[in-house]
Chain A
Amino acid sequence: MTRAGFINAFPLGRHVPQGLKPAFFRARNGMAEAVPYPKPIYETSSRLWRILFAVSLTLVSAGCTRKPGAAFALKPAGFGAALVESSGGKQIGATGSVLAQPLVVQVNDEQGTAVTGALVEFSGPAGVSFDPPSGLTDSSGQLNTNVALGGRAGRYQLIAHTTTKAQKAVELKIEEIALGYQQQVGFQLDNKYCARCHNPESTAERVSNYDNLAVKPHPFTEGDTLNKMSDAELTAIISHGGPALNKSALMPPYGYTLSKTEIEALIAYIRLISDPPYHASGMVYAQE
């Protein structure tokens, strides 16, 4: 309760005592890491705490009201009818880290031509942050934002949001994947050992061997096939190779090359990137 008093005593930019900052600057920076608790205590706690929090909240809001989004009060100069993803969707990054490519969305009108100056706002599950979180589209109708995913491994559904001239909301859902420690290790093992054959896409650094194989391997995103296989089956085929399970001899055994934890990590990674999603990995949905 004393906090409101403290905040007023210290103007912005001065050394503010540490305990006050996160709540105070949350609105401005939008750092989602500062709010890891979906249910704040005043909602769920006992009556006593509820009253105390209500009082302190009133004091705080009376003392220093800073409306969220006030700093980004952008006036749209144009209105579109549709939102499309230009690039940056379906990326794979580490938990908490900034995705390698920025997310680019485009606002179009009814005729499909790009709209300049339309206001687009991004939102996502707790922990996701956008830089910038909202903005106006440029002359080609596009808006870029750098996305940092949350601290939890999984699929993240991000939402880009704009309004039409009639104030109707238009939404675009974009999916990104965050790798935790285990999946991160799996990702690197995949890159080193598996992707040359299992990934049909070639890059400049790595030419895919997929087309050269008489029996085609399953790409790791092929959820329709791989989701039906249990972890034990995947472990068996990775460690013992194709022939041991009556499958293609082109798949060599990796049981003498990779450790048990490495194989577990690889499977955790395969489960996370499969499309359609593997049921056990679950989905991190936006909460609002």
Chain B
Amino acid sequence: MQSLKNTLSSLWQTLFGHPVRAFGVVSLLLLISLAIAPAKNYFSEWRHYQKQYLKLVRSRGEAVTLERHFHEHEGIQQIWLPEFGVVDRCTTCHVGLKEASLADVSTQPFRRHPVIPHTLDQFGCVMCHRGQGPATIVEEAHRSTLAWEQPILPARYVQSSCGQCHRASLTGTPQLNLGRYLLGRYGCVHCHTIKLPDGSAIKPTDDPPSLEHIADKTTREWIYAWLKDPQAYAVSATMPNFKLNDPDARDISAFLIANSTALAGDTAPVTKNEKAPDPTAGASLYGESFCSSCHAVQNAAGNVVGGDVGPELTRVGTKVKPEWLRAWLRNPRVYDSGTAMPHYRFSDPQVSLLAGFLGNKTDSDLLANVHLDAPTPEQIAHGKLLVTEYGCASCHEISGIKKPDNFAPELTHVGSKPLTQIIFLPGMTHAIPDYIAAKIREPRSFGSALKMPQFSLAPAQIDALTTALLSLTDRAHDLPSALTVPAKPPSNYQPAGKAGQLMADLACFSCHAINGRGGDMAPDLTWEGSSVQRPWLQAFLKNPGTLRPALIRRMPKFNLSDDDAKELTDYIMTVYQTPAFDRDSMPSSGYPPAQVEQGKQLFYSKYACQSCHIVDAKVDKGYVGPTLTQVGSRLTAAWIYHWLKDPQTMRPGAIEPNRNMNDEDARALTAFLMTQKGSSKQEAKK
């Protein structure tokens, strides 16, 4: 202790003992402290990277140009966009972002930016990549620090940034589009409210069935097995797994059965003396009715084949009661007035054929170990409590239970959720994308008491959902509307009158779009009345023939009555007409043979239409476009003419290329095609 004191005092004497010496020491300290700032600046990271960049470009062929570009922008660079609130100094180190000749450089930060539709000067960097724009130190700019908590967005989620301004689907952002679709398709928005910046809310598209009459449809045992593991019944089921224990599943199934009311018609018993249905005839009726356009079946190899509009039917015989299935096939709208399934108007023998075919799709293992005793009133009451607690009514209609409001946290601003509000799991990267992805991947890993169920999603689907959620940032909501690209407003188009009722009954909108509403499985019918000829349309509605033999999804036969077919034809021919031209402005026959011959030459030589279309079934082989053997009795001449001139105007998104055809050629081709009347009578005989 004493010796330390002695040392200190002698040190003090040496440094400050003499006034001159003290002055010198203090001056030296001052000089050193003054030198700190310039030294820090000199040794700064960005200077280091700029020097590296110069070294890099000097070794290249186009060194002079690159060096000149560099010296135009030496020092700290900044992109300032006040309307976005962007101050980006990233270009200080990322010097070569705009240099097209650096395409082969793989070392960061000197890579060229890949081609995108926006320029750096218009949008800056953090709009898309997040991170801290004003920072000039690698760590601070890219990672989250004590002061700044916005790290760089990983490349796998970068499409989310497009979604901040672009609210409609974009061609270049398939992942974002898929994520937005899945938010509705998997019913996330039943429980989580998501308000879009334009004020609307995302609507669910999964249409979960009402459970008000569930006892008509299925058994308590099936409900129990389904609740325990929906994917065991159907691998493509979108219903999540609530990881219920046995007593809970038992009580919920007891409550749902007890709570169900019977619908007249569903319980009409199957007549015993009915002949055993022929399985091959049932399978061919299933095929002819194009059930697989909407319903999938798992094949022997384990692949799910078919559409995803309706539920998977692999084990449907184990699920539904035969009486209900018959009633449903007879007219699905009795059980569920809003179903996407068309009312097929099957005859009674057809109904039993199909019901027999579907009823044989069973899986004895599914319910083998399910043995439930008659429920006690306590179990039913407990079941009701559980149904309320798990929020079943958020998705399903259940009589006596109100749909809960805001059952789960609102996700309107989830893309900018402050990290301080989040409890991360041990070992997790502390960033919002990782948190969202982990929540979707395994919600209960954040706590076994959490209510969110386990969804069965592929890794790519989880990434897509995360991308869609990350696009819901504060910036997306605060942007002035002039800087956003709005989505097309949803259409509530409703056809009027008796034809409108018919179209609802046949669920035309499940496949066709008209005036912006409807599915994309089949052609848009907005201008169908200008396009086709009346006799063809009426015959087609009665008995749809094959227009595109290469397609697996085709128009099914609805067994329409003559009156119904006429009603629909009248409506379509009158209402769905384009304002662009008069459908009767060109004759349907009587073209001069020379013009027809010229059209034929053009068809086969100049325009080589036979690569995609068939006119002469013996010679032509093109299977891309519709078959044209009967086009003269199918389409109007005016439609053909205008289609040839500009297909994309007639039907947006048509894949037939615009040939910039002159008037004479288009008229000659129209004349040739109008002579292709086909031999519908012969075909009918075959």
Residues of A within 8 A of B (CB): 12-13, 15-19, 21-22, 25, 28-29, 31, 33-34, 36-39, 41, 44-46, 48-49, 94-100, 127, 131, 146, 148, 150-153, 180-182, 184-185, 188, 192-193, 196-197, 204-207, 209, 212-213, 242-243, 248-250, 252-257, 261, 264, 268, 280, 282, 284
Q: What is the distance, in angstroms, from B686's C-beta to the closest C-beta of chain A?
A: 22
CA distance A25 to B145 in the complex (A): 15
Other-chain contact of B648, A22, A99, A100, A257 (Cβ < 8 Å): A257
What chain A residues lie within 8 Å of B155 (beta carbons)?
33, 95-96, 127, 150-151
Q: Which residue of A lies closest to B45 (CB)?
A: A41
Q: Which residue of B lies closest to A279 (CB)?
A: B104
- Asked if B171 contacts A13 (CB within 8 A), the reply is no
- Asked if B152 contacts A33 (CB within 8 A), the reply is yes
Given A12-B426, A182-B114, also A152-B143 (CB < 8 A): no
Given A49-B43, A153-B114, A185-B171, also A213-B48 (CB < 8 A): no
CA distance A197 to B428 in the complex (A): 47
| In the complex, B381 has a CB within 8 A of chain A | no
What chain B residues lie within 8 Å of A15 (beta carbons)?
420, 423-424
Other-chain contact of B657, A95, A148, A184, A257 (Cβ < 8 Å): A257
**27 sampled A-B residue pairs with Cβ under 8 A:** A12-B426, A13-B425, A19-B144, A21-B143, A25-B429, A37-B108, A38-B107, A95-B155, A96-B156, A97-B460, A131-B459, A152-B111, A180-B115, A181-B116, A181-B172, A182-B114, A182-B116, A193-B655, A196-B612, A196-B624, A197-B624, A204-B305, A209-B550, A212-B621, A253-B660, A280-B104, A284-B106
- Asked if B172 contacts A184 (CB within 8 A), the reply is yes
CA distance A131 to B441 in the complex (A): 13
Q: Which residue of A lies closest to B152 (CB)?
A: A33
Interface residues of B in 26-49 (CB under 8 A from A): 43, 45, 48
Q: Mark B149-164, 1 if CB is under 8 A from A, else 0.
A: 1011011111000000
What chain B residues lie within 8 Å of A205 (beta carbons)?
552
CA distance A18 to B132 in the complex (A): 13
| In the complex, B493 has a CB within 8 A of chain A | no
Q: What is the distance, in angstroms, from A116's C-beta to the closest C-beta of chain B?
A: 22
Given A96-B156, A98-B156, also A254-B151 (CB < 8 A): no
What chain A residues lie within 8 Å of B648 (beta carbons)?
257
| In the complex, B174 has a CB within 8 A of chain A | yes
- Asked if B43 contacts A46 (CB within 8 A), the reply is yes
- The residue in B156, B607, B660 that gathers the most chain A C-beta atoms within 10 A of its C-beta is B156
Other-chain contact of A96, B48, B154, B622, B658 (Cβ < 8 Å): B154
How many A-B pairs have beta carbons closer than 8 Å: the answer is: 176
Q: Mark B640-665, 1 if CB is under 8 A from A, else 0.
A: 00000000100000010111100000
Given A18-B145, A25-B427, A98-B459, also A209-B611 (CB < 8 A): yes
Given A22-B143, A212-B622, A256-B658, also A243-B171 (CB < 8 A): no
| In the complex, B76 has a CB within 8 A of chain A | no
Q: Which residue of A lies closest to B426 (CB)?
A: A13
Q: Which residue of A lies closest to B116 (CB)?
A: A181
What chain A residues lie within 8 Å of B158 (beta carbons)?
96, 151
What chain A residues lie within 8 Å of B471 (beta carbons)?
none
- Asked if B174 contacts A184 (CB within 8 A), the reply is yes
- Asked if B171 contacts A152 (CB within 8 A), the reply is no
Q: Mark B77-120, 1 if CB is under 8 A from A, else 0.
A: 00000000000000000000000000110111101001111000
Instruction: Give the dominant DSSP class at A's interface.
Output: loop
Residues of B within 8 A of A (CB): 43, 45, 48, 52, 103-104, 106-109, 111, 114-117, 138-139, 142-146, 148-149, 151-152, 154-158, 171-172, 174-175, 305, 419-420, 423-431, 459-460, 463, 550, 552, 605-608, 611-612, 621-624, 648, 655, 657-660
What chain A residues lie within 8 Å of B104 (beta carbons)?
280, 282
CA distance A21 to B422 in the complex (A): 15
What chain B residues lie within 8 Å of A146 (beta carbons)?
459
The 4 closest A-B pairs by CB, nearest first: A151-B155, A96-B155, A212-B621, A18-B144
- Asked if A254 contacts B460 (CB within 8 A), the reply is no
CA distance A212 to B617 in the complex (A): 12
Q: What is the distance, in angstroms, from B50's C-beta to the closest C-beta of chain A?
A: 13
What chain B residues lie within 8 Å of A264 (beta carbons)?
115
What chain A residues lie within 8 Å of B657 (beta carbons)?
193, 252-254, 256-257
What chain A residues lie within 8 Å of B114 (beta carbons)?
152-153, 180-182
Q: What is the distance, in angstroms, from A176's C-beta to the closest C-beta of chain B?
A: 14
Known contacts A21-B431, A39-B107; 14 further A-B pairs (Cβ under 8 A): A21-B144, A21-B429, A33-B156, A36-B152, A44-B48, A131-B459, A152-B106, A181-B114, A209-B623, A242-B608, A248-B608, A249-B606, A280-B104, A282-B104
